[in-house]
Structure 1
């Protein structure tokens, strides 16, 4: 009975797949995880004995039909194992091998052997490891650098293409048999390098990436960087080296005048940050500057241009105009104006954004900010305070008119008062002259009485 069962099972196994070897190709990037497939396609796969082995390296992983598992000595340590077969997939006949933290020497031909009741099938998987690398790993500006691409084992008739920051580097250019790009380290080569290996035999494409960073001057980030500062504001002139460096003989100088900035304090006390703070920007600060320092006997320098921005106020037909002016507006593509005002409670109110280099001021008070933008976004801004110009002008005018009327009225009253005082003074002087002659006063008084008597008699008649 047992012999018949074995014969029937063997015939089913042979009719479904038979005893044969299959080869599959898998590519993984160094440092990543890869899965080598091994799926049992027999009608009945459990219980099965599985053995994973690598050419010339012996057993990688093995599971007996009883369920016991074993790892090869070179693939296992007490902390963790770089290889494993997820046991929860065994019931589904999935005996795929997971390899973590891929290394270049993991590349090669692997065999998955599945044994079911004395019958076996072999699946062969060619594992290739692709890797992109930079040598030296942390170059300094000006160093010779080699960006390399390797595939282990290297496929026949393969072609390599490169891209830098997702843009083709020498588009559709075939790299020499060295499979490397030789460059001189600079800021224009910083970023993500990706090599794509095209296999002409299998039509497969495999890719790997590596980051290239260059030590040296990191601020300003590139030559002739344009920097923007508002007139009258404080500004930091950058001169920052990579933290791993300790530059000597650091100098920040203005190129068009040839003097070193001594009268401004340093922005930091660190050995790599030698930025300079300009306490108050003036028009004379505009121009080109250079940050330089000596590292390992080599002189590094980076240039930059300081552009000064200001707001100019003017009057046009009784309207206040604000104009945003820059010493070099070549990179500016658009100007935006934002008006901010505050009520008596200090509540902030932001007005609508106005577009244009020059705008009329309808609200003659508050804070106006000009933001200037380039192709890559905001470049800088400058702010001015606008006071109650129109209102104060009207109040001053009415005040002058009112004061003038008051002065004229007071002057008129003063003249009348002076005339009255003059007349009173004259009368007083005349009385004093009369009192000096009593006889004359008696005669005058007698004559006055007689005149009054004659007047009374005339009235009676």
Structure 2
């Protein structure tokens, strides 16, 4: 290549006194490359233009009579090469190569012959930058490599990697060799997107890009995702695979301290079940009514192309705990895990006759004290909790249900008081009967030592009863 440049330079120097200067062009594989060739010599006759590639000979040629020719190695791809005639009047004889390939890289010469020994040569070196990803669609956890190649390589050139327009720093390091820079990583969501290789030298810069798609469990997108739900509400634990994937042997398990030590995982709570209406890639489970005891960590796992994919998540349950005082009730917003909560606030929700909802922020904080008897306390109270990214969820409490429970307790208390009073009366009556029986028993003990006196007493008593009977009859 350098020898041909030298020969062309010598010829040009002899014929026109020009020097051999090589223009550099960087082009991305698959794009259009424009090789510049501008001649300052103006001629009244139509010039002859010849483009030559150092390794393959003539690329394209135009005679003075207007006939065009393509070199033998370019005949099959002649449609990729053209030199716009509309620019000739301006002295621009640049060559356009469409859909450039690696093999198109190299040294080109543009010769313009205007006659009368007026010949100019322009030298252009075309370098092709190509980014290739293997595989282009990677499964989560599998090995993936991204390669940037420059053909021909320029000694001293720098290579910088960008991912989604941001500088990329490899966790495992980048392998560099002459003409190539290779990044090898384990496929994760962090690697998905557009990879760009930026090649620079001598103030020039060229770039090429390629896309990498990582398939796996797309929802939730990361492990340890927190899912919030209120006691008694419906909740869904997501496990959605990438479109086109059909996972097999999908299992759900509840992670506890005990299950991590056992080979057999804990099963899901009975309230959770998969939905048959979901598409094949959606393996989510849901519960129509979740309880506070369902809080904890869960994991979804499934096999895709013999690659086991897993995603863990944490279910956090919220509830409102009331504590009653004499004239008020204190409501406490309680969550099974508060590590992600940064703020609480309380909102009173009311509805007018038309069912229109209105919400008024009352106060911030985990607890709220409201009056039992105040009309303003009636309605629905909502505790909202927030994290760094915004609102996480909410849980509600009905004041009238609380008042009903309080009234029920008062009624039960009244019933208990009446029962105690009745039992006390019966106990008093029983004591009086026992006292009377004791008196009769003592009286009999005093009479028993005198049988004749007892006979007289009974006789007198009987006669008294007879007289009373006759008196009644009269």
The bucket for the TM-score relative to the shorter chain is 0.5 to 0.7
Contact 1:254/1:260, CA 8 A, preserved across alignment: yes
1:137 alignment counterpart: 136
Aligned match of 1:103: 101
Aligned to 1:254: 254
Is 1:236 aligned with 2:236? yes
Paired position in structure 2 for 1:373: 387
Q: Is 1:113 aligned to 2:122, yes or no?
A: no
Aligned CA-pair RMSD: 4.1
- Relative distance call for 1:277 and 1:74 in structure 2 (3 A) is farther
1:251 positional shift: 0.2
Aligned residues: 373
Q: What is residue 300 of structure 1 aligned with on the other side?
A: 309
Residue from 282, 285, 296 that aligns with 2:291: 282
Instruction: Decide whether the 8 Å contact of 2:106 with 2:152 is kept in 1.
Output: yes
- C-alpha distance in structure 1 between counterparts of 2:346 and 2:65, whole Å: 79
Instruction: State the distance in 2 between where 1:129 and 1:45 align.
Output: 37
Structure 1 counterpart of 2:4: none
**What are structure 2's unaligned runs of at least 5 residues?**
1-11, 260-265, 371-375, 408-474
Q: CA deviation at 1:278?
A: 2.0
Listed as ranges, the matches of 1:402-413 within 5 Å are none
Does 2:304 align with 1:332? no
Q: Decide whether aligned partners of structure 1 residues 152 and 162 sit closer, same or farther in structure 2, where only a CA change above 3 A counts.
A: same
Q: Distance in 1 between matches of 2:209 and 2:97?
A: 20
Residue 228 of structure 1 contacts residue 379 of structure 1 at CA under 8 Å; is this kept in 2? no
1:52 aligns to what?
A: 51
Are the equivalent residues in 2 in contact too, given 1:20–1:121 (CA < 8 A)? no
| Alpha-carbon displacement from aligned partner over 1:392-411 (angstroms, at most 9, x marks no partner) | 99xx9xxxxxxxxxxxxxxx
- Per-residue CA deviation, residues 298-353 of structure 1 (Å, 9 max, x unaligned), is 43322221222345667899788776543223233455777765544455656679
Match of 1:433 in 2: none
SS of the counterpart of 2:139? coil
Q: Which shows bigger deviation, 335-344 or 46-55?
A: 335-344
In the aligned structure 1, how far is the partner of 2:337 from the partner of 2:167? 31
Q: Which residue of 1 aligns with 2:89?
A: 91
Contact kept? 2:251, 2:301, Cα under 8 Å: yes
Change (3 A) 1:77 1:355: farther
Partner Cα distance (2:182, 2:107) in 1: 26
SS in 1 for 2:337: coil
Q: Is the 8 A contact 2:138 2:214 kept in 1?
A: yes
Shift of 1:169: 0.6
Question: Which sections of structure 1, spanning at least 5 residues, go unmatched?
Answer: 1-12, 397-461
Question: Which residue pairs with 2:30 in the alignment?
Answer: 31
**In the aligned structure 2, how far is the partner of 1:85 from the partner of 1:341?**
76
Structure 1 Cα separation of the partners of residues 31 and 330 of structure 2: 62
1:52-451 equivalences under 5 Å are 52-67=51-66, 69=68, 81-118=79-116, 119-165=118-164, 166-170=166-170, 175-177=175-177, 179-199=181-201, 202=202, 204-256=204-256, 258-260=266-268, 263-266=272-275, 268-310=277-319, 324-334=333-343, 342-346=351-355, 365=379, 368=382, 370=384, 372-374=386-388, 377-378=389-390, 380-382=392-394, 384=396
Deviation readout 1:41-99 (Å, 9 max, x if unpaired): 23458743333332333443444445555555765779x93334444433333332333
Assess, with a 3 A threshold, how the Cα gap between structure 1 residues 21 and 259 changes in structure 2: closer, same or farther: same
Contact 1:251/1:260 (8 A) holds in 2: no
The structural deviation recorded for 1:255 is 1.2
Change (3 A) 1:26 1:353: farther
Alpha-carbon distance in structure 1 between the residues aligned to 2:326 and 2:72: 92
Paired with 2:362 and 2:81, the residues of 1 have a C-alpha distance of 61
Distance (whole Å) between structure 2 residues aligned to residue 96 and residue 54 of structure 1: 14
Deviation, 1:287, is 1.0
Q: Deviations over 1:440-459 (max 9, x none)?
A: xxxxxxxxxxxxxxxxxxxx
| TM-score, with structure 2 as normaliser | 0.64
What does the per-residue CA deviation read over 1:124-162, in whole Å, with 9 as the maximum and x for residues that have no partner? 211111122222332323323222221111112344443
Kept in 2: contact 1:236–1:267 (CA 8 A): no
Matched residue SS, 2:138? coil
- Matched residues in 2 for 1:358 and 1:167: separation? 47
CA distance in 1, matches of 2:306, 2:25: 48
SS at match of 2:148: strand
| 8 Å CA contact retained: 1:287, 1:306 | yes
Q: Counterpart of 1:117 in 2: which secondary structure? A: coil
The alpha-carbon deviation at position 237 of structure 1 amounts to: 1.4
How far did residue 267 of structure 1 move?
6.1
DSSP-derived class of the 1:139 partner: strand
Structure 1 43/271 Cα, relative in aligned 2: closer, same or farther at 3 Å?
Answer: same
Q: Distance between the aligned counterparts of 1:124 and 1:115, measured in 2?
A: 15
